[in-house]
Amino acid sequence: QSALTQPASVSGSPGQSITISCTGTSSDVGGYNYVSWYQQHPGKAPKLMIYDVSNRPSGVSNRFSGSKSGNTASLTISGLQAEDEADYYCSSYTSSSTHVFGTGTKVTVL
Amino acid sequence: QVQLVQSGAEVKKPGASVKVSCKASGYTFTGYYMHWVRQAPGQGLEWMGWINPNSGGTNYAQKFQGRVTMTRDTSISTAYMELSRLRSDDTAVYYCARVTRHIVVVPAARDGMDVWGQGTTVTVSS
């Protein structure tokens, strides 16, 4: 199972919106609405930000939103803040009843 | 509160095995699938497998088939991940992570992971 494809880095100024893509196949992202997004700060465990493509867990800011079209899922961060600077990973359930993570995206707040 | 507490750091020689524990508290251990994920230094997240704490059923990433064993002890609400025939490239932080929703709500370990352990550093070096 190959890792889902994400851009290595995305940057934006405070207050701007950015979007991170996550491209898979019809056997994972395109085949199921079980795409999740995780935020990871250096030295910390990942934190769930989005599940089921577009649902936010309790306590996650509504500045984070998710969507999917075909084999590509997306995470949008609106009103970018300094605290959003982190690594972001997508993941998807697959047709083999396994999971696969994305390659990861480093978000920089300029 | 819901939490997962993992065992401490390990240093192993190539060819040895390591067993990492993950003790759950604050929820019904047998009601939620548990995943294991690792992260090599400076690298991304890598999914290793899941265990159904109720049945003991497992599913492993193909990459780890034959080398990884995930088990659980329901009497102490603890999940285990054992990796054998260690190599230097197994050096990583290993995480356990619980799925978001109860097995009855979302079957087959499809769910995202909303509770993570603190991570266990495993260093493989001669």
Contacts with B118 from chain A: Cβ below 8 Å: 45
Distances (CA, A) of B121 to A34, B80, B85: 29, 15, 17
| Beta pairing class for A47-50 and A35-40 | antiparallel
Tokens representing residue B31 in the block:
């009601």
Q: Which helix (H) or strand (E) holds A74?
A: strand A72-77
User: What pLDDT score does B108 carry?
Assistant: 77
Q: In this complex, which of B100, B112, B117 lies closest to A45 when CB atoms are compared?
A: B117
User: What pLDDT score does B106 carry?
Assistant: 85
For chain A, which residues score pLDDT lower than 70? none
Return all residues near B38 (Cβ < 8 A) that are at least 6 apart.
B45, B46, B48, B92, B93, B94, B95
- Contact status of A91 with chain B (Cβ, < 8 Å): yes
User: What pLDDT score does B85 carry?
Assistant: 98
CA distance A78 to chain B (A): 22
- Contact status of A101 with chain B (Cβ, < 8 Å): yes
Residue of chain B with shortest Cα separation from A49: B114
| Per-residue pLDDT band at B94 (split at 50, 70, 90) | very high
* Average pLDDT in chain B: 97
User: What pLDDT score does A1 carry?
Assistant: 79
CA distance B59 to chain A (A): 7
- Are B76 and B4 in contact by the 8 Å Cβ rule? The answer is no
A95 alpha-carbon distance from chain centroid: 20
- Residue A20's CB is within 10 A of a number of other CB atoms, namely 23
Q: In this complex, which of B45, B95, B108 lies closest to A97 when CB atoms are compared?
A: B108
Look at A48 and B47 and tell me if their CB atoms are within 8 Å.
no
Amino acid in position B19: K
- Which class for B71: exposed (0-12), middle (13-18), buried (19 or more C-beta within 10 A)? middle
At B26-75, the pLDDT tens digits run: 999 999 999 999 999 999 999 999 999 999 999 999 999 999 999 999 99
Mean per-residue pLDDT, B70-90: 98
| Per-residue pLDDT band at B109 (split at 50, 70, 90) | confident
Instruction: Select the more confidently predicted residue: B50 or B108.
Output: B50
Look at B45 and A47 and tell me if their CB atoms are within 8 Å.
no
